[in-house]
Amino acid sequence: MKRILTYGTYDLLHWGHIRLLKRAKQLGDYLIVGLSTDEFNAIKGKKAYHSYEERKMMLEAIRYVDLVIPENDWGQKPKDIQEYHADLFVMGDDWEGKFDELKAYCEVVYLPRTEGISTTKIKEDLEKLK
């Protein structure tokens, strides 16, 4: 069984997220999503609209996702790769090169983002509606 591991905040879930998760799952058999906790988002200077528990529930409802784990800090990825026996680490290509050190533990793949959609764009578009 080939296990894939990815991470993100997955706030304001949109079709770009679904497409990324679908493509990640197509690379193997079992998709694990490390979901940024509210506390970790605060450290990163981010505030999610939905709570961790709400975002986790939505991700668990997506058929491509097999397991959701909490992401608590930047440094946990090597430990998670080993603990969950991940064969492949997948992120969007806006992170290209940022996680190459994980190649010591597993294969690393950066997938193209879906053009024209992002959580940031949704927030900006909503702000224009005010």
The per-residue pLDDT for range 105-120, each reduced to its tens digit, is 999 999 998 787 777 7
Task: Give the domains, in start order, of the chain with CATH numbers.
Answer: 1-127 (3.40.50.620)
Tell me the average pLDDT across 31-59.
96
Please check whether residue 31 is in contact with residue 24, taking contact to mean a CB–CB distance below 8 angstroms: yes
pLDDT band for 50, please (50, 70, 90 cuts).
Answer: very high
**2 carries an active-site annotation:** no
Tell me if the pTM is above 0.85: yes
**46 carries an active-site annotation:** yes
**Which residue among 2, 22, 25, 46 is the active-site one?**
46
From residue 80, give the alpha-carbon distance in Å to each of 6, 68, 89, 114: 10, 12, 10, 26
What pLDDT is stored for residue 12 in this prediction? 86
- How many percent of the chain have pLDDT more than 90? 78
Give 42-92 as a 3 state SS string: HHCCCCCCCCHHHHHHHHHCCCCCCEEEEECCHHHHHHHHHHCCCCEEEEE
**Which residue among 44, 79, 103, 121 is the active-site one?**
44
